[in-house]
Amino acid sequence: MGKINVKTKEKRFPIAPHLYGLFFEDINRSADGGLYPEMIRNRSFEDSIVPDGCKYSEDKKVFTSPTGWVCEIYGGEGKQQWIDDAGLAPTDIPAWYAEGAEMTLNYTDTLNIKRRAALDVAFTEGGRIYNVGFVGLSVEAGKGYDFYMFAKGVGGKAEITVSVESRDGAIYFSKDFTIADSGYAKYSTGLVSSGTDNNAIFVIRAKKACAVRFGFTSLMPSDTYNGHGMRPDLMKLLGDMKPKFFRFPGGCIV
C-alpha cells in the first residue's frame, strides 16, 4: 500500500501570496437566497420555463442541455430533494400559491423584452396569492425591508395589500397599493418588521375582486453590503479572509 508523508514543519517551496483566494460556485441556493438575499423565490415568474435549446423529459422531470448536461427541474422547483425537505405542496408556478384567486402565466404581455413571463391573477374579494420563499422567509423584529414590484390592473384599477405574515396569519408588516390599469408601473415601499420568524410567507391580497398582471416582484433586507445588495454578514466573512482574488462564477454556469 502506498504511503504519503506530509511534512508540515518544513517549507520546501515558496508559494506566491496572490495564489490564495476565494471560489464561488453557484450551486443549490448559494447565490439567490444566499449571498444575494432576495427573499421572494421565482420573483420574475420564469422558473418553470425550460432554458432555450434544452430538451425536457416530462416523465423524468429533467431537462438536457445542448451539451448533454442533465438537470432536475420538477416544474421549476429544482431538485426533488428540495421539494421533499421543504414539504412543498404541488403548484404550477414554483413557490407561488393561490387561495381565492386563479394564477396563470402570461408569455406575451411581459414587463419588457428581456422578461419571458408575467403573472396574471384573478382575485375574488379577499383572495390572496402567497410566496413561500427559499424554505420560508426570514424576518427579524425591528429590521427594515425594501419591497418593489411592477404591476398593472387588467380591466380596471385594483386595490391590493402586500404583507409578510406568519403561517398562522400574524402580520409582520403590510402596505396598501392602488394598481393603475394604464400600463406597467413600479410600486415600492420600505417596511419594518414587528416580529421575528424564519418561516414566514409573502402575501398579496385583494380587497375587492380584481385582476392584476405582475411583471416582477422583489423583497430584500434594507441592510446590504455597501448598499450593493449582498448579505453583509457573509461579505464580511469573505472579506476577513483577505483573499487576493475572487473567482466567479465557478464554472457551472459559464
Cβ(146)–Cβ(190) below 8 Å: yes
Rounded to 5 degrees, φ, ψ at 232 are -65, -35
Query: What span, in angstroms and rounded, lies between the C-alpha atoms of 194 and 173?
Result: 7
pLDDT at 252: 54
Rounded to 5 degrees, φ, ψ at 148 are -150, 155
Rounded to 5 degrees, φ, ψ at 205 are -125, 140
Query: What span, in angstroms and rounded, lies between the C-alpha atoms of 19 and 106?
Result: 48
SS3 152: strand
Q: Residue 49's Cα: distance from chain center in Å? A: 15
Q: Residue 14's Cα: distance from chain center in Å? A: 44
pLDDT in tens, 65-84: 999 989 888 888 888 888 88
**Half-sphere CA count of 94, side-chain side, radius 13 A:** 25
Residue 75: how many CB atoms within 10 A of its CB?
15
Checking DSSP bridges between strand 246-247 and strand 22-23, what pairing results, if any?
Answer: parallel
Q: Model's pTM, two decimal places? A: 0.88
The full set of domains in the chain, from first to last, is 27-47+95-247 (2.60.120.260), 49-91 (no CATH)
Only one residue has cell 416580529, namely: 195
pLDDT at 166: 98
Q: What is the pLDDT along the chain (254 residues), one digit of tens a residue?
A: 899 988 888 888 888 888 888 888 877 778 888 899 999 999 999 999 999 999 999 888 899 999 998 988 888 888 888 888 888 889 999 999 999 999 999 999 999 999 999 999 999 999 999 999 998 999 999 999 999 999 999 999 999 999 999 999 999 999 999 999 999 999 999 999 999 999 999 999 999 999 999 999 999 999 999 888 899 999 999 999 999 888 877 665 54
pLDDT in tens, 197-237: 999 999 999 999 999 999 999 999 999 998 888 999 999 99
Q: Which amino acid is at 46?
A: E
Cβ(38)–Cβ(29) below 8 Å: no
pLDDT at 254: 42
